[in-house]
Structure 1
Amino acid sequence: MVRDHGRDGHRQRHPRHALSLPAEISGAGLHRQRGQGLTALRAPAALSPPRNPSLNAVARPVTKGLLMSPLSIHSYTFVPTWTTAFGEKAARMASSTGYSHLVIPLRDHAAIEPAAITAMLEKHGLEAVTTANQRPDADISSTDRDIWRAGLERHRLSLRLARDIGARHMGGILYSVFGKAQHAAAEENVKAVAEALALLADDAAAMGLRLALEIVNRYESNLINTVAQGVDMMRRVGAKNLHLHLDTFHMNIEEEDPLAALEQALPYLTYFEIDQNNRGRLDRGSIDFGPMLARLRTAGYRDMIGVEAFSSAISGPEVAAGVGAWRNLFDDGAVVARSGIDVLRQAGFAA
C-alpha cells in the first residue's frame, strides 16, 4: 500500500496490492493437499528455489531511483509492551517519522482488540505487520503431540487475529519457544516444525496471509540460527507463502559472511530488518548496513524493510528480560525511528 499526503495534508489510504497467494499451495516438501489429515503429507522432493514469488507483493513504486520498499518499525521501539493505548502512541510516532507499517506482537492474545487496532491504523495511515510466538505448553517444535497440537492451535488463533486487524504478514520466531535452550534441537524437533508449518501455511493462504520465519541467534532459539538452517526449513515445507525474515543483529552473531548469507536468503526474503549490534540507534554501532542494503538494491528487492531497537528506558519488564535490554540506549523511540530513516535514505530506500 502506498501512502501519500493529500492536498489537505492528511494521509490518504490507497488500494492494497493483493498478495499473490494461490488457493492451493503447492511445492515440494511436507505441504499437504486440502482435505487430507495431519499425517497425509507428500514426500520431500528436490527443490530448486525460485525467485520469491511474492517479492513485489507489497512493494511501493520506484520513485526517481529509489526502491520504495514498505518501511516497517516495531512498536516496542516506542512503547514498553502492547496495549491499545500504547499502540495509539506507537502508531502516531511510526506514521510521523515516515513508516508505512507497524509491527504488532500477538504474544498476548487478550491484548489484541481488532476493531480498535483497525481504527487506529486507519487513522494514522498504517498497515499492520504481526509477529506470533510459542509457549512451553504450546510449541510446534515439541515431540509431545499434545504440546505440538496446542502450538498449532495457538498459531491458528494468531492467524485469525492477524487477519482481523488487516495484516497480510505474520512473522517472528514461529518455530520454537523464545529463549535460551538447554540442549540442541534434534532432527525430530525439526520434522515436527516442518509438519506444523505446512499446515499453517495452508491456513494462512486461505486468509490471504503469508508467513515469515525470523532467523534468530542461539540465545533466542536452538532451532533456526542461520540462513542455511532457514533455507533447509523452506525446502522441507515447500509452501509458496512461507518466507524468511533476516535481522542484522542476529546475523552479526551467527553468520560467518553476512553478505553471502543474504545472497542465499534472497529467493525467500520478504522482511529485512536493520538492527544495530547493541540494539540502539541505527546510525551508531558496529554494523555497517551499507553493503547489505546495496546488495538488496542491485537485486531489485522491493519488499519490507524493518527497523527495531530496544532500551531499558522504554522496554517493559517482560520485553527487557527477553532481549536483555539492561541499558538506557535511548529515551525517545522517535530518535531511533529517524535514525533508521536516515540510514535507509542513504541507501536509496527512503525519500
Structure 2
Amino acid sequence: MPIRAYAQRFFIATLFVIGATAATPTFARTISYATGYPPNSIGSNSALAYAEALKALSNGDLSVKVFPMSLLSFSEAAPGIRDGMADSGFVLFSYFPSEFPNTNLISELTMLLELDDVAPSHAGLAYVGAMSEYLFHHCPECVTEFAAQNQVFTGASASAPYMMLCNEKVASLADIKGKRLRSAGPQWARWAQAVGGTPVTISVSDAYEALNQGVLDCSISSSVDLDIFRLSEVVSDVTAGVPGGVFGGTGVNNFNREVWRELTEREREQVLRASATFGAIISWDYQVGATKELEAAPEQGIKVHEPAEGLQQASQRFIVEDMKTIARNYQSRSGVNNAEQSIKAFQTILSKWVKLVKDVSSPEELAEIYWRETYSKVDVSEYGL
C-alpha cells in the first residue's frame, strides 16, 4: 500500500486519540521541514506521510512543507534548525558529536540488540521505541543539550540491521583478516578491528566506487543499500548476522525551539502524534526494503552467507566488552560522567521494547504502540520549553 494511503487510513481511524478535547481557534500555520534525503526516497516519502498526518490531526491548522535534499543537507541540519533556516528537520546525531554527547552515547549502543532475543526484522523497530523513550523520559541531559542547540527532540527512526556487503566471500575470522571494511560509526570500526579487519571511514555514497575499484573489500551496511546506492552492481557476497546493530542515531523531526514554544499545547501534542507515525513509517519501510533486497540477492548473482561460528562468537564477545569501552570513551572525551549507568538504564528499556514490538505486523500498529507507550506521556506543558 502506498505510504500516503496507509497514513491517511491510520489517522482517520485514530484521530479520536487527541482530537476529543475542544480546540481553541487558531490560525493556519505552515512548518518547514528539511531533510538530506533525496526526493522519492524512503526518507522523503515518509516525511510527506508525516505532513499528511499532521494536517489531518490539526484539521488543517498545521501543514508541513517538505524540502528534500535542498534546504539543508545532513551536515547542515543541526545548525540550520538551530538558526531558524528550517522550522524542523532530520538530524543525524553522529554528524554532531560535540553538540550531542549524551544522545550520541545512546546512539552508539545499537549492537546491544545482538544480545537480546529480537528478530532481525524487528530490531530497528525496537530501537526507535527505546531511543525515543530514553530521550523523552530518562535523559534530562539530552533535553538540555538539545535546548543548547535551540532544538527540541520529537522522535527517532532506525535502519534495518547492518551486515557485510562484500566483493568476495567474507564469512569467517580467517576470511576477514586484513579485509578493508567501511564502517558506518565508531562501534562498527571497533568491531572491524576486534575481528581482524581494517576499518575504513568513507560515506556510503562513495562505497560503490570503493568496492568496484578494490579500495574496499566490504561495506558494513543495511541490505537496503544494495538498492539505494546500487551496491548490488559491485557486491558479490553478503554475510548476514554480523556485525549487527542498526543505525539509530537520528532525530527524525527535531524542532526549532522557538517554533516549538509558539505552538499551543494541543499543537505540540499533534506534532508528537504525527512524529510517532513518522518514525514508524520510515523505520518500517527501511526494514521492508532491506528484507526485499536480501531475498532478491541470489537472483542478482549475489551469494548470501551465514557467519561462521568463530566469527559469531568473537562478535558477541566484542559487544559485551565494547559497552565498557563506550562508557570510558564518553567519560574521558565528552565528560559524560554517568555513562556506565546510562548504558545499563538504556539496556533495560531496550529489552522492554524488544518484547513490545515482537508481534507488530504493520506500521499503523507500530505507530500506535509508540504513541501509547511513550510519545503520549510527554508533558507538552513543560517539555522542550
**TM-score in terms of structure 2 length:** 0.25
**TM-score in terms of structure 1 length:** 0.26
The structure whose residues are more often helix, as a share, is 2
Which of the two has higher C-alpha Rg?
2
